[in-house]
Amino acid sequence: MDTSLDDWTGWVGREETLRARIDAAPVAALAATLDLEGAPTEGQPLPPGWHWLFFNPVARQSALGDDGHPRRAANSFLPPINLPRRMWAGSRIRYLASLQVGAEAERSSRILRITPKEGKSGPMCFVTVAHSVASGGRTCIEEEQDIVYRAATPLAPASGGSTIPERAVTPAPLLAPWKRTVNPDAVLLFRYSALTFNGHRIHYDLPYAQVEEGYRGLVVHGPLAATLLQGFAASLRPGLSLAAFEFRGMQPLFAGQPFTLCADEAGKGALALHAVAPDGRVAVEAFARFAPQS
């Protein structure tokens, strides 16, 4: 496939606007999924990362591809890049005002850039989308999201071992002063997929994840790990609000394999955060900044 930038320049600048009510029911369901004792109720601020419950595409069953994602089409918002694997690679988020449970909101999105690259496993293409979430006449959240498209990997061996090419192991922050263990299981992943209307089969269909996409197990959602990291960061800065958060996926995390959330001081009250797999791989790296509560 020719992945030159000229193929997709017509999509740069493309825009869409989606509207949603920040309904209390999925908020309560996510709180239960994350095993929290209480959930924000109407009129209270939505916790950081929980806006990903809303504004998700709704496609008819007949419009889905083999991977469970909406089938790519020339009239879709995202470009129909002809690389079969699609993942959320990371985001950079600014929290400007509280988005309240029960409020009416809208998300305006625009494609900022499309960047083809050649990776170790073949051609890749990064699509960066800017999202702005507004409610009550004010902008509450600004986010830049990176989506990566990549070539298919060979079929997994009969043993189910991963064929996904992994980066060199990044040393884990073993001396981080704050740590929390997360035990992801298939039910957690299934519930998060349902709440975010995410049909990607790598999160709940083990034979598909292993045989078709080459993973060793069910894959923990990148935004789920990022949501857990944001909640962890917020718990370490009581009395402050999360003002900015960025994360980048480095390696996959898998169901049935506990991982560790780590946090360390990063100067001026900021936190450097990591999600670390059992074998010491840094799977997600993140950074959080805070501001006084308004």
Query: What is the tens place of the pLDDT at every residue in 224-258?
Result: 999 999 999 999 999 999 999 999 999 999 999 99
pLDDT in the model for residue 173: 63
CA dist list (Å): 41 to 83, 102, 137: 41, 8, 21
pLDDT in the model for residue 153: 66
Q: Which fold has domain 5-292?
A: Thiol Ester Dehydrase; Chain A (3.10.129)
Tokens of 34: 């994350």
In this structure, the dihedral spanned by the alpha carbons of residues 65, 70, 73 and 77, taken in order and rounded to 10 degrees, is: -160
Q: Where are the domains of the chain?
A: 5-292
The whole-model pTM stands at 0.91
pLDDT in the model for residue 168: 44
Tokens of 40: 């924000």
Pure H helices in 104-221: 186-195, 206-207
Angle between helices 186-195 and 222-236 (to 10 degrees): 90
- Side-by-side strand order, sheet with 240-249: 15-21, 104-119, 122-135, 138-150, 85-95, 240-249, 282-292, 271-276, 259-265, 178-182
Residues in the chain: 294
pLDDT in the model for residue 269: 93
pLDDT in tens, the chain (294 residues): 444 445 688 899 999 999 999 999 999 999 999 999 999 999 999 999 999 999 998 999 999 989 999 887 767 888 888 888 889 999 999 999 999 999 999 999 999 999 998 877 788 999 999 999 999 999 999 999 999 998 886 544 333 344 334 444 455 566 789 999 999 999 999 999 999 999 999 999 999 999 999 999 999 999 999 999 999 999 999 999 999 999 999 999 999 999 999 999 999 999 999 999 999 999 999 999 999 987
pLDDT in the model for residue 171: 55
Phi-psi region of 204 (alpha: psi -120 to 50; beta: other; left: phi over 0): alpha
pLDDT in the model for residue 84: 86
